[in-house]
A and B are shown apart, each in its own frame.
Chain A
């Protein structure tokens, strides 16, 4: 493998180019920087999961680079409002919820106390959730004994400056930029591999491997086949509206997702903007009415509605063409998995880089891992719909729909006695599943017998201590604006 061409000039194309050059410096990497389309969600959704931190570190970038050079800010989680009925909002933070007591895990204790009616909300036991609710932020404590030591955080990206930084970095690492308009794709007769790209200046750009970062249209990959597994039966939203407004002076590290009769709305504050949006099912609400709804909340006119089709390609990598990001998997931005799935695919591409023959057995393993990861991300998103008690027709219908088999397996096991099965390539850990399941009021029928060795009064005491620890320390911690100002002061010195 010598020559790789990446098509797509948004943050994804440049991130792929940077990773390839950094990890596999023997490769020649050429980027054709086509502007990303409006429906490429990995490009547009600014909220990223904690995996972005590791992705940056692998590239040799620090948090400081992202913050200072690309105007990012921090995010600790998401608050879900109106998803559960007759229950308070809940926070999904990237954190440990409580600590195990004796041999049983924390949530079993919580469930036992909840049955007795004495448990505080589940997110009261997550330090990061409480920090986020108070709109405060610190980096995780290095002392493992501190309650504030075990969470992870994501970044809120600046939609303009972040791709610029990634482009500059990829070029610095030796990626070659080849501005052009794509005119056609030439396939090799004997095996159907992509031979070259026809460019508008008459040139033919050939390579051993073509990386498609062109969004859902998948300009390259669709030239080979367009097989698609549709998920709309479990994920009903097929339209998105976006309305960006000016940034808040002290941006909250907590994003906000509010359920609506026809879908859900989000508010995500960051240093660069306040991103607001509305994901909805077009069968339930007209585009005009949806736009009015979002305008009413955002106080700004939304841009034109974007149509999305949720699902994934069975084989993101076929022959010598691999689709990344929305070209491979398309899901609504709920839980902000779009960029995460794209980053994960980049890591996998680098780790599994085959020879020029792109042997089917090697691609098979790549596709298997991508499929396993996407399917579990889908399950986690579908979980929000499948377990909501809202009464509008859309929500009733979602509750009555049989979930995908792996989600059904998860729900069946959890509803029995609060157990969660293990799946390969899981994006969200146990605590994330618990935060949503318990936040939405999914309560198991039985309590795990392993808890019997700890008397309830002991659970009660331990849980009260955990909450006190968190509640006592939160008010003394800085707001996001204060924290960012500190970092800038230190950098200026």
Chain B
């Protein structure tokens, strides 16, 4: 069978993740050609990731320690949200469960029941391995034995996204991916079918292909500029349309979690890497000027800045379809959701996974293409609701920005979920979707969405036995975490960063 000619438009994280996956997992099936221009530069978003990335790296046969050393990565057990429900609040959204996991009734139901009975219980995050390890700044790999308490957390990475692309580039090129440097000036289409046939570079060179992957970032060269696929605008719920980013030297401990701090007109990220800390302020230009945002960021960061603030512009939403004709959008070319829950790289990965499963043979089947679009829409829509929750579930009234968020109308799908949680702490269960029950519970409770009741099955055990069980659990979690290595020490032993080239 003839190999299909795949043209990837754009390097960067999306482009090289796609190239490496296609080259590695569909050898002989496709001939991958990536076009990028060093002059354009990359956004390099998504320095913080979700645990799913580990499966992606494993599929590519990547050695974890080598990858972490090369991208100056740190471990990530969750995200700390500061000042969201009220100024002064802090909670961690952990990768992992509350309580020992398993069991028919969710742990938080027993916890709610005791609280509603007026019995004093520690905060819920004391019953999470990931939260406790994070607060204590410890790390160890999770146990594979699901009966053990130290198997109840997951982890992801915080890494330098500008180094992840080049790391994958080596893998892709070793597997036979061709790379051409150059700026695309024209996209040629078939007069009859409307399919894209080739891209032409400034040099005059034309690169032909059967399937085009649009990894051109916000420019969306193929989906938007060439095919005119409409954009579904979600900015009435997700107001932020700017970010200003500025790396700093690390002051203090290298935390095994990402910091997300609510600001008067948006929020600020704090992502500790081995060699520096990434910082940025995500805000709404309706409420805040770029200059004021930069000033606020400079004032807020802990360490000494190592670059000037750099502004990015975006709009929340997604293309109506991510796969149109023979063009598949991967990453920012297909949509954008702010990095509040570190979903950028996850969405790239989801698109690649779906593309691999639905990879076309000689002709693109509309059935496969529709299925791809259905899967991607599902991912975007569920993440969208989860993000909106963070803005809406707040008591903040200190700025017009938060007034808007607190009082805005939200999608029905989210309103129903919140109402269910308010009644008796129930989380709408989906088996598919990136954020599972514990994530929703963490954000609801962390942002003061407090249920009035609880699951009646949680009434079965006696309060004494529950209190004793919880005390032992919290103690076990602290002693297990305390026995672990300091996060920084673990990194220095396991994956010290390679010297800058």
Contact = CB atoms under 8 A, between A and B. Distances in A.
- B is bound to A: yes
Contacts of A362: 420, 423-424, 426
B432 A449 contact: no
A361 B419 contact: yes
A26 B416 CA distance: 28
B377 to A, nearest CB: 13
A413 B372 CA distance: 11
Nearest to A27: B456
A58 B105 CA distance: 12
Nearest to B365: A416
Interface in A42-59: 58
Contact of B26 (A25, A353, A419, A452): A452
Contacts of A1: 456
Contacts of B419: 361
B228 interface: no
Nearest to A412: B367
A413 B455 contact: no
B361 A364 contact: no
Nearest to B452: A355
Size range of the chain A interface in the assembly: 35 or more
Contact of B420 (A26, A361, A448): A361
Interface of A: 1, 23-27, 58, 103, 350-355, 359, 361-362, 364-365, 409, 412-413, 415-417, 419, 421-422, 424, 446, 448-450, 452-453
Given A24-B456, A350-B457, A351-B455, A449 B420 contact: no
Contacts of B359: 449-450
8 contacts: A24-B456, A353-B457, A416-B365, A419-B357, A421-B371, A448-B357, A450-B359, A452-B27
Nearest to B457: A23
A417 B104 CA distance: 37
A449 B26 contact: yes
Contacts of B432: 422, 424
Interface in B357-388: 357-359, 361, 365, 367-368, 371
Nearest to A357: B423
Contacts of A416: 365, 367-368
B456 to A, nearest CB: 5
Size range of the chain B interface in the assembly: 20 to 34
Nearest to B362: A446
A365 B25 contact: no
B431 interface: yes
Contacts of A25: 460
A379 B20 CA distance: 38
Nearest to B418: A361
Nearest to A20: B456
A26 B459 contact: yes
A446 B480 CA distance: 51
Given A24-B460, A412-B367, A452-B29, 14 more contacts: A23-B457, A23-B460, A27-B456, A351-B104, A353-B456, A355-B423, A355-B453, A359-B423, A361-B423, A416-B365, A419-B358, A424-B432, A450-B25, A450-B357
Contacts of A27: 456
A452 B27 CA distance: 8
Contact of B428 (A365, A409, A422, A453): A365
A351 B27 contact: no
A353 B428 CA distance: 14
The 3 closest A-B pairs by CB, nearest first: A449-B29, A361-B419, A412-B367
A424 B26 contact: no
Interface centre among B359, B361, B365, B456 (most CB of A within 10 A): B456
Contacts of A452: 26-29
A24 B356 contact: no
A450 B26 contact: yes
B457 A351 contact: yes
Interface of B: 25-29, 104, 356-359, 361, 365, 367-368, 371, 416, 419-420, 423-424, 426, 428, 430-432, 453, 455-457, 459-460
B104 A58 contact: yes
A353 B460 CA distance: 14
Contact of B423 (A58, A351, A354, A409): A354
Nearest to A426: B431
A448 B25 CA distance: 12
B416 A361 contact: yes
A23 B455 CA distance: 11
A453 B456 contact: no
Contacts of B368: 413, 416-417
Contacts of B27: 452-453
Contacts of B26: 449-450, 452
B25 A26 contact: no
A56 to B, nearest CB: 15
A384 to B, nearest CB: 22
B426 A449 contact: no
A295 to B, nearest CB: 46
A102 to B, nearest CB: 11
Nearest to B460: A25
Nearest to A447: B361
A364 B25 CA distance: 43
A364 B420 CA distance: 10
A391 B25 CA distance: 43
A381 B368 CA distance: 24
A210 to B, nearest CB: 17
B110 to A, nearest CB: 14
Nearest to B357: A419
A448 B356 CA distance: 9
A281 B156 CA distance: 57
Contacts of B426: 352, 362, 365
A362 B427 CA distance: 11
A429 B371 CA distance: 19
A365 B432 CA distance: 17
B427 to A, nearest CB: 10
Nearest to B416: A361
Contacts of B420: 361-362, 365
Nearest to A24: B456
B359 to A, nearest CB: 5
A25 B456 CA distance: 9
A96 B455 CA distance: 35
Contacts of B456: 1, 24, 26-27, 353
B412 to A, nearest CB: 11
Contacts of A353: 455-457
A355 B358 CA distance: 46
Given A350-B457, A361-B419, A413-B371, A449 B361 contact: yes
A413 B431 CA distance: 20
A416 B357 CA distance: 12
A355 B456 CA distance: 9
A409 B460 CA distance: 43
Nearest to B26: A449
A446 B361 contact: yes
A272 B25 CA distance: 54
A409 B368 CA distance: 10
Nearest to A360: B419
Nearest to A25: B460
Contacts of A350: 457
A413 B430 CA distance: 22
B419 to A, nearest CB: 5
A371 B359 CA distance: 32
A235 to B, nearest CB: 25
B423 A103 contact: no
B186 to A, nearest CB: 31
Contacts of A409: 371
Nearest to B432: A422
Contacts of A448: 357
